[in-house]
Structure 1
Amino acid sequence: MSATPSNGIPPLAGLATYEQAMVAGLGVDENVDLMRRYNFIESRLYQMSAAFMNPTPEWEVKGALSLHLYLDGEHSQLLRQRVAELRRPPLYLDKSPDSKLELFLEEALRAENTLERLVGIFRVIRPTLLDAYRTHLAAINPIFDFPTARLLKLIIAEEEQMIEWGTQAVAAVISGDEERKSADRWEAHLRAYLAAAGGIDGKGEIPSDLSLPEPRSVKPFVPDVDPKRDWRSGDIYNFHYRANDVYLDSEADWDERVLALMYKRFHEMDVPEMMASIVLQTQGKPWEYYRDMGRQLWDEARHSMMGEVWFARYKVDWSKYPNHVGWSMHLNLDRSPLERHIILYFIEQNLMDGKTGKRLEWKIAQSAADPLATYFQDYDWADEVLHAQIGRRWLKPDVGDVKELLEKGREIAGRASPTLEAKIKSTPQVDWWPDYVRDALGKESTSRAGTDNALVPTFE
C-alpha cells in the first residue's frame, strides 16, 4: 500500500498492486537464458511442421501443421526481438543452447507416422513448453518486465489453442489398444530424452537411474518431400484437372465457373506441401525469411480451407473426386528449393494481371451472385498481393529484378518433369469433371474448355 492518499483510481495502470510491483522478478540474464531455449524449441517446432507436412496423409493435420508452423515462426520472432532488447545481440539465437535439448528435439523429428508425430508434439513438447511459459510468467514483474509478460501471455494463449486441437487429434487417431500402446511407448521415449536435458528450462533434476531408449537420430535426418494423402483424395496421380480452364470459360454458366474456382481454392493444399519443402531445405537465411514464408504457407492453407468450407456449405463430397498432388510432387522432387520459390513467385506475379488474375476471380464470384465465394475471393486476392511482395523481397537478391524472375520462372516451368511423366504413364488419366458438375450442381456441364491451363495440358 502506498503512503500517499488514494483518489480511488487504480494505480500502476492496473497492472499490479504496489505489493506485487515491489517483488523483484527474474533478472535480465536469467530471462534471456530462458528465452534462448524457448526460441530454439519454437524454431525446431517450425521445422517439424515443415518436415511432417508431406509424409502426413491426413488433410486436417496438414491444415493444422500449416497454422502451427506460422504461429511458431511468430513466437520465435517475438522471442528474438525481446532478447535483442535485453542487451544481448540476437546473432547466436540460431545455435543450440544445449546439446541434450537438441538431442531431444532431434528424436521428436524422427517420428515415423501420424500418431507419433502428433504424440511427440502434443503430448510432450507443447505441454511441457506451455508449463515453462506459465512458470516464467509467474516469476517476472508484471510492470518492469512488461514486454516479456505481454509476449508470454500471447504465446501461452496460442499454445493452449494448439494443444486443444492436438489432444483431440491424438484421440481421433488412436483407434484401439495397439495404437494406444504405440502412443505410450513413443511418449515415454521422448520424455526420457527431455528428462536427460533437465526439462524445457534445463534446470530439472536428472534421475540418477535414467536410462535412455535406443536413439533414432544416429543418422542425419533425410526429409520426405513426396506428398502423401489419405483415401479421401482419391487417385492422387490422376492429373486430369479442368478447373483452371473452366473458370476462365466465358461460355460456361456462372455457377459452374464458381464451382471451378472453389475447387481451385480447395486444391491449394499443394502449396503448403511445396512451400514446406522450400523452408525445410533452404538453410542459412535470416529468420525474417522463414517468418515471411511461414505466413505465406499458412495463407495458402487458409485458401484451401475456403474451398473446403464452400463444399461444406453446399454439401459437396470432395472425397468422390481426385485431388491430385502433381504440382507439389514434381516441384519437390524435380526442382531445387530456389527453383520452387521462383515458380511460386512466377505464378503469383502473373495473378496480379487485372484481366486474368485475382481481380477476375473475384468478379466471377460476384457475377454468380455467390456472397460466400465473393467474400473468399476478396481475401484470397488481398493475400496474393502480399505473397507477390514476399517473393520479390527474398528472390531479388538471389535472382534479379522482376523481369529476370519472370524469365527464369518461365524457363523452369518449361523443363521436363521425370517424376510427373512416370506417374502419367503408370496411372489412368480420367476426366472426372462432368460427373463432378452433375453431383454438385445437379445438371450437365456447360463448359467446353479443355485442359490448356492444367498441369498437364494434353492427355492421350
Structure 2
Amino acid sequence: MKTVLRDVKTASQMMRRYYRAVKETMRAMAGYLPSMKSWETRKMLARHIWLDAMHADMLRSRTLDLRYPRVDVDEDSDAHLIKLLHQLPNAATDEQFVAGIYRVIKPALLAAFKTYMHNSDPLDDAPSHLYLQRIINELEQQQTDFETIRTSTGKAFADTRWETFLHSVLAASGGIDGLDLDPGEKYIPFLSRALYQLPEEGARDESWEPAVMQVPPRLPDNWIEHRIWVAIDHANEVWASETAAALIWEYDNKPWNLYYEAARCYDEMRHAMMGEARLASMGLQIGIDYPMVPDHWRTFRQRGIGALLLLLHGLEQRGPLHKSKLKQELFAVHDFDGAQDCDYDWADESGHITYGLSWLKSVFPGWQKLQIIEETNKLLAEWREWIERHHHEGTHGYAVFLSRIEAKAKLLKTEQSDTQVVFQPTVVTK
C-alpha cells in the first residue's frame, strides 16, 4: 500500500507554480544584472541565471507531461506570486537585491522542492523526482556560491527588515508550494509599484578606473600586445552578457524558448572571464591596468534594448570566422590558453547567431530580412565611426591604461615578442 498519495492534477498545479516561480526569479535576476556593481557578484548572477533557466525548463517540461494534452503552462496563473517576484529588482541597493534572492526566495524554493519529494511517490512521480533532485543539488551549490561571495567581497548581503518583509509577502501570497492567494490591502503599495527599469548603462565595479572605450587607440606592435588586445576585447564582452540578460526582463510574455536561449548570457560572461584570467596571468589587473567599460550601452542604449540587440547580432555574425582566425594566430605563438578560449568562443557564437535572429524576429515582427540587414549594418557603421572618431580626436581616455599595458608588456618575454603583426584591429569583434 502506498504511503504517499497525490493525484496528477495536484502535482501538475504544483509543478506549474514551481516553473513560474523559478522562471520569474530568473527574469528578475537577469533584469538586475546590468545594474550590479560588484564584479564577483555579477559573475555569480550570470551563471545562476543560466542554471535557473535550465531548472525552469525541466519544471515546464514536467508540467506539460502531467497536463497533456493541455499546453497552458505559460498562460496567466499564480498572478499574486508573480507580482511579488516582479518587484524584486526594485530593491534599493545591490546588497538588498542579493539578500532577497539568496536569503528569501531561493531558500523558499529549496524547502518547497524538498517537501514535494518527501510527500510524493518516487515511483509514480519518478520524472519529477529526477528533475527536482538535480535542481535541489544545484540550488544548494548556488547557496554555497553565495556564501563564498559574501566571504570574498567582505559584504554581508543581508538586510533583516527587507528579508522579513519579503518573507511576509511571500507567505501572504501562498508561498512557493501553496495556492495562489491575494496578499491583501496591506501589501498593495509594495506590489503596485512601477516595475524596475533597466539602467541607461551597465554598471561597473566601483573599484575600477573610469574609462571611455575598450578598444586601444593603436594596433598592437608585437605578438605580446596582440595577445593583450584580444584578451581585453574578451574581458569586455560583459556588455553582450548585459544585453542578452536585458532582453529577458525588457520583453514580457515572449515564448519560453526565447528566454531560455537568452539565458546563455552566461556564455558572454564566460568569455569575459576568459579574458580576465588571461590578462591576470600576464600581470594585468582588471579595471585598473585595462578598461572595463559599457561603451556599447553608452552609445546606443537611449535607442532602446532593440538597438543593442541589432548591434550584438551584427557583431556576432562576424564572430565565428574572426575567432577561429584568432585561434590559429594564438596557437602559432604558443598562447594555448588564448587559442582554446577563442575556439570555445566561436563555438558559442555560432549558436548565438541563431538565438539573435529569433529575438530580432520577435522584437521587430514587421521587419523583413532585408530591413534587418540594413538596420544592422547602419548600427555597425555608426559603431565603427564612433570608435574611429574618439581615436582620431584623442578622446579615447586610454592614455593611463596604455602606459600600464606597455610597461607590463615589456616584462613579458616570448620567442615571438619581436614578431611584427599585420591584422584587422579588434573593432571588428565585440
Tell me the TM-score normalized by structure 2.
0.85
Correspondence 1:148-297 to 2 at 5 A: 148-170=128-150, 183-202=159-178, 215-225=189-199, 226-236=201-211, 238-239=212-213, 241-242=215-216, 246=219, 252-295=221-264, 297=265
CA change 1:400–1:441 in 2 (3 A) is farther
Counting aligned pairs with the same residue, the percent is: 24
CA change 1:343–1:204 in 2 (3 A) is closer
Report which of the two structures shows the higher radius of gyration computed on alpha carbons: 1
1:314 corresponds to which residue?
282
1:121 corresponds to which residue?
101
Deviation at 1:396, TM superposition (A): 4.9
1:16 corresponds to which residue?
none
Deviation at 1:26, TM superposition (A): 2.3
CA distance in 2, matches of 1:347, 1:211: 49
2:19 corresponds to which residue?
39
2:71 matches 1:90:
yes
2:379 corresponds to which residue?
412
- SS in structure 2 at match of 1:233: coil
CA change 1:199–1:352 in 2 (3 A) is closer
Q: Which one of the candidate residues 289, 303, 324 is aligned to 1:359? A: 324
Q: Is the 8 A contact 1:310 1:373 kept in 2?
A: yes
- SS in structure 2 at match of 1:315: coil
Q: Which one of the candidate residues 371, 379, 386 is aligned to 2:336? A: 371
Q: Deviations over 1:347-366 (max 9, x none)?
A: 1112233xxx1111111210
**Residue identity in the other structure for 1:229:** R
Q: Is the 8 A contact 1:40 1:94 kept in 2?
A: no
Q: Is the 8 A contact 2:233 2:426 kept in 1?
A: no
Q: Is the 8 A contact 1:282 1:337 kept in 2?
A: no
Superposed CA RMSD:
3.5
**Residue identity in the other structure for 1:410:** N
1:382 corresponds to which residue?
347
Q: Deviations over 1:164-215 (max 9, x none)?
A: 1123334556658xx86xx1111111111122123211269999xx995784
**Residue identity in the other structure for 1:289:** L
Deviation at 1:406, TM superposition (A): 3.1
Q: Deviations over 1:114-169 (max 9, x none)?
A: 11011100100001110101111122222221111111111111111111112333
CA distance in 1, matches of 2:338, 2:425: 24
Q: Is the 8 A contact 1:242 1:451 kept in 2?
A: no
Q: Which runs of 5+ in 2 are unaligned?
A: none
Q: Which one of the candidate residues 86, 110, 116 is aligned to 1:130? A: 110
CA distance in 1, matches of 2:359, 2:412: 46
Q: Is the 8 A contact 2:224 2:409 kept in 1?
A: no
Q: Which runs of 5+ in 1 are unaligned?
A: 1-18, 456-460
1:6 corresponds to which residue?
none
Q: Is the 8 A contact 1:115 1:170 kept in 2?
A: no
What is the aligned residue count? 414
**Residue identity in the other structure for 1:273:** E
**Residue identity in the other structure for 1:222:** Y
CA change 1:98–1:323 in 2 (3 A) is closer
Q: Deviations over 1:392-421 (max 9, x none)?
A: 3443573444x653332112334589x99x
**Residue identity in the other structure for 2:160:** D
Q: Is the 8 A contact 1:107 1:215 kept in 2?
A: no
Q: 442-451 or 361-370, which moves further after superposition?
A: 442-451
Q: 73-82 or 314-323, which moves further after superposition?
A: 314-323
